[in-house]
Structure 1
Amino acid sequence: MKEKINSTNIPQHVAVIMDGNGRWAKQRGAARLFGHKNAIKAVRETVEGCAEIGVGRLTLYAFSTENWNRPKIEVDGLMNLLVSTIKKEIPTLMKNNIRLQPLGDISHLPKEAQENLQYGIEQTGKNEGMVLSLALNYSGRWEIGESVKQLVKDLEEKKLAYDDVNNAFIGDYISKHTVPDVELMIRTSGEHRISNFLLWQMAYAELYFTDKLWPDFRKNDLFEAVIDFQNRERRYGKISEQLTN
Structure 2
Amino acid sequence: MSNQPRHIAIIMDGNGRWAEKRGKSRTAGHEQGAETVRAVTTFCARHSEIDRLSLYAFSTENWKRPKIEVEFLMKLLERYLKSERSTYLEGNIRFEPIGDLSMFSASLRKVIDDVQNATSGCSGLIQSLALNYGGRDEIVRAVNSLRENGTITVEMLGSALDCTHDIDLLIRTGGDHRLSNFLLWQAAYAELFFTDTLWPEFGADELETIIKKFKTVERRFGGLN
Alignment TM-score > 0.5, same fold: yes
Structure 2 gaps, min length 5: none
Count matched residues: 224
Whichever residue aligns with residue 86 of structure 2, its letter is P
Superposed CA deviations along residues 116-170 of structure 1, whole A, max 9, x for unmatched, are 11111111111111111110001000000001001113x1xxxxx63xx433443
Contact 2:93 2:127 in 1 (8 A): yes
**Could you tell me which of 59, 67, 72 is aligned with 1:64?**
59
Q: Check if 1:170 corresponds to 2:157.
A: yes
Structure 1 gaps, min length 5: 1-5, 156-160
Q: Check if 1:237 corresponds to 2:205.
A: no
Shift of 1:178: 2.7
Q: Check if 1:207 corresponds to 2:204.
A: no
Whichever residue aligns with residue 31 of structure 2, its letter is K
* Alpha-carbon distance in structure 2 between the residues aligned to 1:170 and 1:85: 32
Paired residue secondary structure (1:132): strand
Q: In the alignment, what sits opposite 2:118?
A: 123
Q: In the alignment, what sits opposite 1:3?
A: none
Whichever residue aligns with residue 111 of structure 1, its letter is A
Q: In the alignment, what sits opposite 2:211?
A: 226
> Within 5 A, what are the aligned runs for 1:126-137?
126-137=121-132
Q: In the alignment, what sits opposite 2:37?
A: 43
Q: Structure 1 vs Structure 2: percent identity of aligned residues?
A: 45
Q: In the alignment, what sits opposite 1:88?
A: 83
Contact 1:10 1:53 in 2 (8 A): no
Q: In the alignment, what sits opposite 1:141?
A: 136
Whichever residue aligns with residue 164 of structure 2, its letter is V
Hey, which of these two has a bigger chunk of helix by percent?
A: 1
Paired residue secondary structure (2:84): helix
Whichever residue aligns with residue 183 of structure 1, its letter is D
* Alpha-carbon distance in structure 1 between the residues aligned to 2:140 and 2:215: 33
Superposed CA deviations along residues 22-61 of structure 1, whole A, max 9, x for unmatched, are 0000001111111000112210111111111221111110
Mark the structure with the bigger radius of gyration. 1
* Alpha-carbon distance in structure 2 between the residues aligned to 1:115 and 1:237: 43
